Amino acid sequence: MSPRPPTVSRRRSISDPLAFALLPPPNETPAEREQRLRREAEAKKVNDDIDDMLKAERAAQKKRKEVKILLLGQSESGKSTTLKQFQIIHAHSQFQAERSAWRAVIYLNLVRSVRRILDAITLDESDEESPYGGPRSPTALLPATRQRLPELATLKLRLSPIIAIEEQLIQQLACSEENDTRIMLPPRQGSPEFGQRGSGEISVRTGVNWKQAFAKFKGKRPTGEGNILPRNDPNDPIHVLHACADDMNTLWNSPLIKDILQQRRIRLEESSGFYLNEITRITDLNYVPSDDDVLKARLKTVGVVEHSFSLDKGTEKGVDWKIYDVGGARNQRQAWAPYFEDVNAIIFLAPISAFDQVLSEDPNVNRLEDSLLLWRNIVSNKLLQKVHLVLFLNKCDLLQMKLDNGVMLNQHMTSYGDRPNDYDSVSRYFRNKFAALHQSFSPNQDREAYIHLTCVTDTRKTSEVITNVRDIILKENLKDSRLI
Ligand SMILES: Nc1nc2c(ncn2[C@@H]2O[C@H](COP(=O)(O)OP(=O)(O)OP(=O)(O)O)[C@@H](O)[C@H]2O)c(=O)[nH]1
Ligand SMILES: [Mg+2]
């Protein structure tokens, strides 16, 4: 015989009407008790089933209202810049508040360009002539130019404080009160990696608001939101940069330097983080980066960085957008796959101006070939067959500049043959090439790949593209969830 429920609980529950109503009747027989318990168990199961149903419905509802976008593409394709454009459109006040934090990155980009010029005028005998008596390196200087190098000695000396500034900026960006330094430093002189291709960039690590990490180094006097450099501090790099501004301008505008860079085949205008045409403005003591400056700033991504936006307008009301920005260098790509299962759309960036460049992580691989291969892998991936694909054929401004300067596509891609070397023909050729790969290799023949020719540093044009892409993704997504 089962024991009766303890009288203590009966007494305690008298004051609670619900508990009182649920109390077993007095003098309940064991058979009645068994029946009651069975009834209660059945009722609980029905209750649990309803709870589960509601939970599943809520999850489905939530899923419908969340759009996840993955930004993919090789390193320096423009993924982080595209993310900045999303921020400009959908989180502009936050973007503006953080603009000052980019000042150090912009200085570092400028200093790096100056250092590249100084390196180019520094005579390195082994660079000029092969130690084995073989042919000269293709980037060696003409003898007449070499003879003129001493003319630059004074300027070089006057610019030496710039090198110290580079060190200081790197320290400032990397230094952390916590032990887990989140900013990855380029290798130092003397380290085994120093001088290796692709190893000279400073990068930002996954999932970290580096701007906040930087904000710790505001110095003693607060200098405004997100401002990481203590501007009033005499140690602020701005003072040295400001003092060296004229010399930097002289260096960059010197015909001899232009000659040397041409002979060395260094095209700084096309490289990331190029500010040499704006030295006076950037080195002004009261300089605050503009939106365009931030879009041009180069900071390599390592890992995957997530950003969320809530849209509260029109048809997009209540839709949460999650955008994942990944590192595109070869050693970063293994981090992409875990995001494939759950993503609604991919924006793939292929910088089509890079047809005459090689990967910085592997000088044997042409950058455009790498983009084509990567695109092919993405479009043919079965896991991604339901994912909407948007392709940005990016850096169209640089493509135009290159073609206008006479760089011939067919010298780098023989398949181009003798077609005209103008922007319209070349961009159409690339569009068809990427579209054909999608058509041939997509496991989902109903899927359309939306292709745009872009320059994601241009806010006006990119804002139109982003609005268009957003509408398409939203429409496709609603179709998927059978809302329309
Ligand atoms: N001129 C020009 N520059 C661009 C364009 N898109 C991006 N850039 C610049 O190219 C550089 C690299 O862009 P990022 O957005 O950092 O490239 P990423 O794909 O995020 O690179 P990783 O983080 O290394 O994977 C930055 O300095 C950008 O300002 C473009 O369309 N035109
Ligand atoms: Mg990036």
DSSP string computed for 166-225: HHHHHHHHH--SSSS--EEPPPPTTSTTTT-TT----EEETT--HHHHHHTT--SS--ST
Counting every residue written for the chain, the total comes to 484
Q: What is the CA(28)–ligand 1 centre distance, in A?
A: 78
Question: Is this complex scored with an ipTM above 0.85?
Answer: yes
Helix axes 396-404, 423-441, angle to 10 degrees: 130
Q: Which atom of ligand 1 is nearest to the CA of 297?
A: 27
Model pLDDT, residue 66: 82
What's the confidence (pLDDT) of residue 214?
47
370 Cα–ligand 1 center, Å: 16
User: What is the position in ligand 1's atom list of the atom closest to the CA of 456?
Assistant: 31
**Measured from the CA of 328, which atom of ligand 1 is nearest?**
25
Q: Please, what's the b/e burial string for 231-258 (b: 16 or more CB within 10 A of its CB; e: otherwise)?
A: beeeebbbbbbbebbebbeebbebeebe
Closest ligand 1 atom to 325 CA: 20
Ramachandran category for residue 227: left, alpha or beta (phi over 0 → left; psi -120 to 50 → alpha): beta
What is the distance in A from the centroid of ligand 2 to the CA of 398? 18
Q: What is the H or E stretch that residue 60 is in?
A: helix 30-64
Nearest CA to ligand 1 atom 15: 78
Both structure tokens of 259 = 């000659």
Spell out which residues line ligand 1, taking CB within 6 angstroms.
Answer: 73, 75-81, 272-273, 295-296, 298, 300-301, 327-329, 394-395, 397-398, 455-457
CA of 26 relative to ligand 1 center, distance in Å: 78
Atom of ligand 1 nearest to the CA of 301: 23
- What was the pLDDT predicted at 132? 45
Residue list for the binding site for Mg(2+)? 301
Ligand 1 centroid from CA 48, angstroms: 52
C-alpha 79 – ligand 1 centre gap (Å) = 7
In the chain, ranges of CATH 3.40.50.300 domains: 67-95+304-478
The residue whose CA has the least distance to atom 14 of ligand 1 is 78
> Which residues in the chain land under pLDDT 50?
1-3, 5-13, 125-126, 130-136, 176-182, 187-199, 206-208, 213-226, 483-484
At the fourth CATH level, which superfamily is domain 67-95+304-478?
A: P-loop containing nucleotide triphosphate hydrolases (3.40.50.300)
Q: Which ligand is nearest to the CA of 74?
A: 1
Name the residue of 71, 74, 76 whose CB sits within 8 Å of the most ligand 1 atoms, as the mutation to test its pocket. 76
CA dihedral 202, 205, 210, 216 (to 10 degrees): -80
Closest by Cα among 126, 138, 156 to 257: 156
Phi, psi of 195 (to 5 degrees): 85, -10
Binding residues for GTP: 295-301, 394-397
Q: Which of 112, 323, 399, 457 to mutate to test the pocket of ligand 1 (most atoms within 8 A of CB)?
A: 457
Give Rg (Cα) of the chain: 30
Q: At what angle do helices 103-121 and 245-253 cross, to 10 degrees?
A: 50
- The values of phi and psi at residue 437, to 5°, are -65, -40
Q: Which atom number of ligand 1 is nearest to the Cα of residue 332?
A: 25
Are the C-beta atoms of residues 84 and 295 closer than 8 Å to each other? yes
| Cα–Cα distance for residue pair 405/401, rounded to 1 Å | 6
Distance CA 305, CA 208 (A): 7
- Distances in whole angstroms, Cα of residue 307 to Cα of each of 12, 51, 324, 339: 52, 32, 6, 14
Q: Which atom of ligand 1 is nearest to the CA of 73?
A: 19
Which one of 81, 206, 353, 452 would you pick to mutate in the ligand 1 pocket, going by the greatest count of ligand atoms within 8 A of its CB? 81
Ligand 1 centroid, distance to 292 Cα (angstroms): 12
391-402: b or e for each residue (b if 16 or more CB lie within 10 Å)? bbbbbbbbbbbb
**Residue 449: helix, strand or coil by DSSP?**
strand
Instruction: Indicate which residue's Cα is closest to atom 30 of ligand 1.
Output: 395
Residue in 208, 131, 115 with CA at minimum distance from that of residue 169? 115
Rounded distance between C-alpha atoms, residue 204 and residue 211, angstroms: 10
- Minimal-distance CA residue to ligand 1 atom 6: 78
Q: Can you give the pLDDT at residue 376?
A: 98
Beta-carbon neighbours within 5 Å of ion ligand 2: 79-80, 301
Nearest-ligand number for the alpha carbon of 328: 1
